[in-house]
Amino acid sequence: MSYATTQDMVARFGEGEVIALTDRENTGSIDEAVLSSALSEATSEIEGHLAARFALPLASVPQLVTGICCDIARYRLSGASVVETDPTRNRYRDAVRLLESIGAGKVGLGLDPAGQVAPTSTSVLIQPGERSFPPGSLEDF
């Protein structure tokens, strides 16, 4: 299971770029096998960073992880006939730094250690504190 799909890649980079990155046979369409391989490699790289903190594979994939997977796959697809650009390389490096921060616990994914969406509370608890000035203490003013 990959943390991103063909649709995620197209939504993020556009169909033309995904075709340019994957179409090795010049058919004018996305080569699903090439893209699937790159997404699998990206997923493996992500899991290498997250393995110490989460049960893998993640049962619930946050959008942040999907975006990271797309950026890494795009970088991996660059090379042979597709020229690697500075923005592609920079996005990859940013993705790796973000994964390192997530792995170190500096950035959260909103998941518990089992990889499930962590429960959140939507209620607010208000507790009255002690009075700063006891009754009658300001009568002299």
CA atoms in the 13 A half-sphere facing the CB of 135: 0
Q: Would you state the pLDDT for residue 119?
A: 66
Structurally, the chain folds into a number of domains equal to 1
Asked if the structure places residue 92 within a domain, the reply is yes
Residue 122 lies in a domain: no
Cα–Cα dist 20/76, whole Å: 13
Sites in the chain below the pLDDT cut of 70: 80-84, 114-125, 141
- What's phi and psi for 47, nearest 5 deg? -65, -30
Residue 38 belongs to a domain: yes
The predicted-structure confidence for 59-92, as pLDDT tens digits, reads as follows 889 999 999 999 999 999 987 655 567 888 899 9
The answer as to whether 97 is a domain residue is: yes
**Cβ(36)–Cβ(28) below 8 Å:** no
Question: Residue 137 has what pLDDT?
Answer: 74
The confidence score (pLDDT) of residue 67 equals: 96
pLDDT given at position 50: 92
| Confidence (pTM) | 0.77
Check residue 75 and give its pLDDT. Answer: 93
Identify whether 132 is part of a domain: no
